Amino acid sequence: MNIESLRDFCLLKKGVEETFPFDNDILVFKVMGKMFALISIKDPNSVNLKCNPEKAIELRAEFTSIKPGYHMSKVHWNTVNFNEDAKDEMILEMVNDSYNLVVSSLTKKLKTELDLM
């Protein structure tokens, strides 16, 4: 996995924007204004992704490349290191899960706006 592939995949999703809300290094992907993926431009070797808490624990136990979210809630976020034991397909599946988790938590109004896009 690399930053270009991750970026392309994220931007194909409905309602996604890329922002730099923290500084000029951390690229954040949001759906309807809510974060679902973060990656460093200066050190693009991992991505932070939102995850169901129970699944997060399972993934961390199964893959050495998946750790509790760096600088994020350790309950709801994982940091996934690229080019280790989690294959690219798995990482993209985790991006999908992160996106879907965020979409499922949107207000009815935001969900309607997303559906209309």
pLDDT in tens, 9-19: 999 999 999 99
pTM (2 d.p.): 0.95
- pLDDT value at position 112? 95
- pLDDT value at position 71? 84
d(CA 17, CA 7): 10
Chain segment 72-111, per-residue pLDDT in tens: 888 899 999 999 999 999 999 999 999 999 999 999 999 9
Instruction: Map out the domains of the chain as residue ranges.
Output: 3-108
Helix/strand/coil for 30: strand
Chain segment 56-66, per-residue pLDDT in tens: 999 999 999 99
C-alpha to C-alpha distances, 30 to 19, 23, 49, nearest whole angstrom: 8, 15, 11
Cβ pair 76, 53 in contact under 8 A: yes
Cβ pair 95, 69 in contact under 8 A: no
CATH number of 3-108: 3.90.1150.30
